[in-house]
Structure 1
């Protein structure tokens, strides 16, 4: 007499093991992988581009920073010689660092101050806000071009409109471009003129602040300045922090205005010899690509350290309204 099996057909499927069993988990993982592969297909162009156009050149640059490479002959390994020369034997390197730091310390706060001031004016503007917002934003699109930088150089050169206008009110500065004390500030003003991008971000942040806060402060007798210090600044602090980080990173990489205003040589007397301009000179003019690569990596490290410091200090002055318990 034949026996009838009491096992159900499902029990022979390894993926139908009791709940919590390994085969069932394996099946779920396989299902998730089957659903994820289209995402990797669509992401593959970006991942290939990031690897080929970003990560691979960075790796090559890191290798070249330890070599003597002139763009024509094969790289020759020299170890830390480029870094040693940079820190101990190259006074122009340190002058470029000082010029860049001066530019960042002056240009970034001025640019953000102008951006915030104009954003506050536009916030209370009724008709025509869109037009003025577009008009103030336009320099951010045009200011990074070489043509605008050359026009700016003409404005601040000997006989330019700016020295002439200052002369009419009794301030005789002469041409800024040829003045070692004023040339860097011509670049600073060009940067400040491009305040449109942070202005738009500030305007968006200001529009998120509830009018009820200002009404309550006014009822308590707070004036405009007190409202600005006690309400606007704390509520806008995340936006200030965001703009501060972006503008600081961008300012350390300034190149086009300095190249155009100085004629590419950082003059007069290295007063506009910014870090990136000196990097370009060592790499492509003097053909010391290994040294330029070392400079590029030091710039990357410096920006990373300064950004980390900004993030660290933000804990004491950036206020997030939706954070539990506040600051």
Structure 2
């Protein structure tokens, strides 16, 4: 879990970046505490990658302040590379480069690199040291990219869309690796658009939409902000009056499909609904009451079309 320190590991304040006069990042602010897995979540085109590229010093902000362990990623770029490791959204290596050659090459970039041998063992790469990059599976490539991001012994690592394109098993294996990285004392800035990934891994999440922070909270806090934090689904044994349903306290929505009703609201909505059913002598067949997920909160908090082009 994160530890509170006087100075956050990453500070972003009033960050702005435009391309061709169009603002892509429009006043983003957040701080990442040491030991956190901090998520940057948002639809494609929301400005996530541009934001973290400014944190990495790969792009120069138009305005605002960015600091990594107190350093300016642009003015102090060389020093920042010693404390920050990064796996970029678009990562490739030469096809004929072996895993061993890649690890040795990246280790040579740092004055005090980690020993790549135990790192390779920890990430399940020992049996692939002589395998060429082009012959690795998607999951093996991601493990290698994590190793390369950690080989400089960074205090913080940025992982950008790390599990995109992986099958469900490889994705879950990668999630465990990310948790292991944090357990090893490294702060993680995780960029993703997978809700399940963010909900499982992140201590806190900044939801970015249209270049701005739409919300910043724990996954549980974001879910509580959802218009309907509780979802009730059932098939009534007799018709229910729509006016009475609409009058239920803290009701967020009602949907009808093939005879089943789905209501979203709060615990108060559930209690009032059960009372209504009892008064009307109506049985709720196949009743299910579930908590809302990060998907529900995300849809409430964002307006961006998920098919927009990434920035």
TM-score range, shorter chain: under 0.3
By percentage of residues, which structure has more helix? 1
Please identify the structure whose Cα radius of gyration is greater: 1
By percentage of residues, which structure has more strand? 2
TM-score (norm 1): 0.21
